[in-house]
Amino acid sequence: MSHRIPLRKRLSVRLLITSVLIAVCSVAATAWLAVETTTRALREEQGQVLAEDMDVLARLSGYAATHPQWRGVGPLVRTLAEKTGRRIALTTTDRRILADSAPPGTSLPPRAAATVDPLRTDTYTERGAQRSGLDPRVVGPYRLTAQERARLGKLAVMRQQCFARNGIETTIVRMPSGRPFLSEEVETPLECADGKLNTPTEGEEKALADLMERARACLGGQDLKSVAPLFLSLDGTDRGVGGRYQVGKTDVEPGSAAARTAQNCVDSARRAQLDPYVAPAAELFLGGGDRTAVRFDMSPANKAKVVGVAGLVLAVTVAVTALVATRLVRPLRALTAAAQQPPELHVRVPVTTRDETGILAAAFNDLAERRERLEAQRKAMVSDIAHELRSPLTNIRGWLEVTKDGVVAPDPELLASLHEEALVLQRVIDDLQDLAAADADTLRLHREPVRADELIGQVAAAYRVAADTAGVALRTETDGTPWLDADPVRMRQALGNLVSNALRHTPGGGTVTLAARCEGDDVVLEVADTGSGITAEELPHVFDRFWRAEKSRSRRTGGSGLGLPIVRHLVAAHGGTARATSEPGAGSVFTLRVPALAGGAPGPGPAPLQ
């Protein structure tokens, strides 16, 4: 399995993407929630401020409608300022202070918030709007006496009862002047239309007569003649001047410009009539004041939205995290379960992904396979060691037993045979000791500059007699004068094992060649023979311990099966590599590649041995 993971499959990238998605969702949800709740809160705040401003304006307009002067308005201004947490200042039209909740000397805001004029205002519209309406609380000469209120109250109850008899439910409402009226806008039954409740009282008739006199001057100037006196309208919710005190019949067409002019004349007369009963117009200033009221408070709906979105984000985060964690933990649990199985089972785990966990599973399987292979090799090595030691020991024991029993005399030939078997045991033990030292990384090397041509010459000289005895030609070839930094004894041992092995497997008339050359920063040492060769199936195992091409494990060809493994460890200790190539019937080539001496040759050395 390739260890190069696609970017999208990498565990770190997937975790990063998951974290980024969660963060983006959280930020987006938080931003949306913040904008939504802030917008709603600002709207609520603006509505609250506007409602408070309108309430302040209405309260002050009501005061002006019921008081001919502003004297005594100070307590009301301070009460409103404490309630709203804002500064409230009331001045005349020329900016003279009438009442102010701020300390004396505090400068006024640059602009007035509204004009308080009960004769020209509409306290039920947007902030600062000044229209030609009339505050319904302006009563003036139309205020009823207590006796008139009581009498009209009885008439109102009688009319309400009359409406009830006709199946109409009504409510009695009193106007600021004290006059009662029935609030429901329904058609009056004939038996209830006695006109008594709508008839003006003595005080109202006097006020209406005065209003008519004031209006006639304007009507005469407009060349309009009234043929009937003004009369009351009992719509207590109408804040227009003409809504409650309408013009009588005139000789103009209703709805025409002349009719509107006549109505304006009545309006002007009405304001002039009520002007002595109301406070003068004043300017209203609103500001921050000395303290700031707590004006932002999240509504229950916004709180519920915050909790809902937070819960949703939390649920999504938990779900995504649980999903990712499950996918990550599942293969780890499989690895844990496999690792907890008995070692002799060599359990593997399925590889289902191509990410880090997949590579980990593949590595675990490779480790299990190597462990199984090493276990098999260990068992085979124990068997091989027992086999290698049993044969010479059996021979020695057998000859000693027959000699002890007097069957065979201990002659020099017998002693030589026993000595040869002892040497075989010693060689096997020495090889095992070298392999143990290599495995424990305690193999000692005494490095020094070594000429490669001298090294192969010494090895060739050592095996010249054995080669001549076997009828094999032993040759050396050197390209230049390569030097290497190595332990000469260990390198001769490695090359000697290769030459000995080549001589055993090369028939008479064959050739064994030792060669040395430089390739880049390495020195290449080769031992080539023209022997029987090694098959492609067996070639990967030539450096395994106790491996021999002869499966019968007969010692006819000699060797313990430890020579080539020792060669590999000795070359690896020098920082090099050992490899073998072979072709059945054409011979084999064993190549040792070790680092060359740094800095080149240290100087001329002795001539190589031939």
Give the pLDDT confidence score for residue 401 in this predicted structure: 82
Give the pLDDT confidence score for residue 35 in this predicted structure: 75
Residue 111 has pLDDT above 80, yes or no: yes
User: Which one is predicted more confidently, 19 or 460?
Assistant: 460
Residues 231 and 207 sit within 8 Å (Cβ to Cβ): no
Predicted confidence band of residue 76 (pLDDT cuts 50, 70, 90):
very high
Q: Are residues 298 and 264 in the same domain?
A: no
Residues 117 and 281 sit within 8 Å (Cβ to Cβ): yes
**Nearest of 538, 523, 606, 605 to residue 571 by alpha carbon:** 523
Average pLDDT over residues 526-536: 88
Backbone angles phi, psi at 166, to 5 degrees: -95, 15
Q: Are residues 483 and 590 in the same domain?
A: yes
Three-state SS string over 372-394 comes to HHHHHHHHHHHHHHHHHHHHHHH
- Answer whether residue 477 is part of any domain: yes
- Answer whether residue 155 is part of any domain: yes
- Answer whether residue 84 is part of any domain: yes
Q: Are residues 381 and 271 in the same domain?
A: no
**What CA–CA distance (Å, rounded) separates 496 from 478?**
17
Residues 284 and 60 sit within 8 Å (Cβ to Cβ): yes
Q: Are residues 435 and 556 in the same domain?
A: no
pLDDT in tens, 319-328: 777 777 777 7
Residues 81 and 282 sit within 8 Å (Cβ to Cβ): no
Residue 290 has pLDDT above 50, yes or no: no
- Answer whether residue 36 is part of any domain: yes
Residues 81 and 29 sit within 8 Å (Cβ to Cβ): no
Q: Are residues 289 and 316 in the same domain?
A: yes
Average pLDDT over residues 387-407: 77
Give the pLDDT confidence score for residue 174 in this predicted structure: 87
**Helix, strand and coil percent figures for the chain, each rounded to 5:** 50, 15, 35
User: Which one is predicted more confidently, 548 or 565?
Assistant: 565
- The conformation of residue 191, written as its DSSP 8-state character, comes to G
Give the pLDDT confidence score for residue 471 in this predicted structure: 92
Average pLDDT over residues 506-526: 91
Beta bridge partners of 32: none
Residue 29 has pLDDT above 80, yes or no: no
**What CA–CA distance (Å, rounded) separates 108 from 287?**
8
> Which of 410, 439, 468 is the last residue before a domain boundary?
439
Average pLDDT over residues 193-221: 80
Tokens of 33: 């929630």
Residues 74 and 101 sit within 8 Å (Cβ to Cβ): no
User: In terms of C-beta density within 10 A (0-12 exposed, 13-18 middle, 19 or more buried), how is residue 162 classed?
Assistant: middle
Q: Residue 238's domain spans which residues? A: 140-281
What is the count of structural domains for the chain? 4
Q: Are residues 146 and 252 in the same domain?
A: yes
Average pLDDT over residues 72-91: 89
State which amino acid sits at residue 43. R
How many other CB atoms sit within 10 Å of the CB of residue 465? Answer: 10
Give the pLDDT confidence score for residue 91 in this predicted structure: 92
> Average model confidence (pLDDT) for the chain?
77
Tokens of 559: 């060797």
Beta bridge partners of 587: 583
Average pLDDT over residues 474-491: 88
* Sign of the dihedral through C-alpha 518, 521, 525, 530: negative
User: Which one is predicted more confidently, 179 or 13?
Assistant: 179
Say which range, 29-43, 454-468, 501-515, has the weakest mean pLDDT: 29-43
Average pLDDT over residues 441-466: 85
Q: Are residues 394 and 328 in the same domain?
A: no
How many other CB atoms sit within 10 Å of the CB of residue 242? Answer: 18
Residue 589 has pLDDT above 80, yes or no: yes
Tokens of 603: 């100087």
Instruction: State percent of the chain over pLDDT 70.
Output: 77
pLDDT in tens, 259-276: 777 777 878 888 888 889
Say which range, 55-64, 171-180, 396-405, 426-435, has the weakest mean pLDDT: 426-435
- The conformation of residue 223, written as its DSSP 8-state character, comes to T
Average pLDDT over residues 210-236: 62
Q: What secondary structure does DSSP assign to 66-87, as a single string?
A: H-SS-TT-HHHHHHHHHHHTSE
> Which of 413, 439, 465 is the last residue before a domain boundary?
439
Predicted confidence band of residue 250 (pLDDT cuts 50, 70, 90):
low
User: Which one is predicted more confidently, 290 or 315?
Assistant: 315
Say which range, 6-10, 22-26, 530-534, has the weakest mean pLDDT: 6-10
Give the pLDDT confidence score for residue 298 in this predicted structure: 58
Average pLDDT over residues 281-298: 64
Give the pLDDT confidence score for residue 607 in this predicted structure: 42
How many other CB atoms sit within 10 Å of the CB of residue 142? Answer: 25
Give the pLDDT confidence score for residue 222 in this predicted structure: 58
Q: Are residues 401 and 519 in the same domain?
A: no
**What CA–CA distance (Å, rounded) separates 374 from 157?**
114
**What CA–CA distance (Å, rounded) separates 197 from 162?**
13
Give the pLDDT confidence score for residue 413 in this predicted structure: 79
Give the pLDDT confidence score for residue 234 in this predicted structure: 43
Contacts of 482 (CB under 8 A, 6+ apart): 451, 452, 453, 516, 517, 518, 523, 596
The CATH number of the domain holding residue 399 is 1.10.287.130
- Answer whether residue 573 is part of any domain: yes
State which amino acid sits at residue 233. S
User: Which one is predicted more confidently, 560 or 516?
Assistant: 516
- Answer whether residue 133 is part of any domain: no
Q: Are residues 173 and 221 in the same domain?
A: yes
Instruction: State percent of the chain over pLDDT 90.
Output: 10
pLDDT in tens, 483-505: 998 888 888 888 888 898 888 88
- Answer whether residue 418 is part of any domain: yes
Residue written as token pair 């050592």: 462
Task: Tell me the pTM.
Answer: 0.43
Residue 289 has pLDDT above 70, yes or no: no
Residue written as token pair 């932002």: 296
Say which range, 174-178, 200-204, 553-557, has the weakest mean pLDDT: 553-557
Tokens of 185: 């806008």
Residue 547 has pLDDT above 70, yes or no: no
**Nearest of 282, 314, 375 to residue 56 by alpha carbon:** 282
Cα–Cα distances (Å) from 260 to 116, 232, 255, 353, in that order, read: 26, 18, 7, 89
**What CA–CA distance (Å, rounded) separates 529 from 536?**
17
User: Which one is predicted more confidently, 337 or 78?
Assistant: 78
**What CA–CA distance (Å, rounded) separates 70 from 72?**
6
Cα–Cα distances (Å) from 180 to 144, 187, 244, 311, in that order, read: 11, 18, 13, 57
**What CA–CA distance (Å, rounded) separates 129 from 299?**
29
Average pLDDT over residues 65-94: 90
Q: Are residues 267 and 286 in the same domain?
A: no
pLDDT in tens, 122-171: 544 444 344 457 888 888 888 899 898 999 989 889 988 888 888 888 88
**What CA–CA distance (Å, rounded) separates 215 from 123?**
26
pLDDT in tens, 337-392: 888 888 777 788 888 777 777 788 888 888 888 888 777 767 766 766 676 677 67
> Which of 398, 414, 439 is the last residue before a domain boundary?
439
Q: Are residues 304 and 389 in the same domain?
A: no
Residues 142 and 65 sit within 8 Å (Cβ to Cβ): no
**What CA–CA distance (Å, rounded) separates 338 from 346?**
8
- Answer whether residue 346 is part of any domain: no
Beta bridge partners of 529: 512
Residues 173 and 180 sit within 8 Å (Cβ to Cβ): yes
Q: Are residues 335 and 455 in the same domain?
A: no
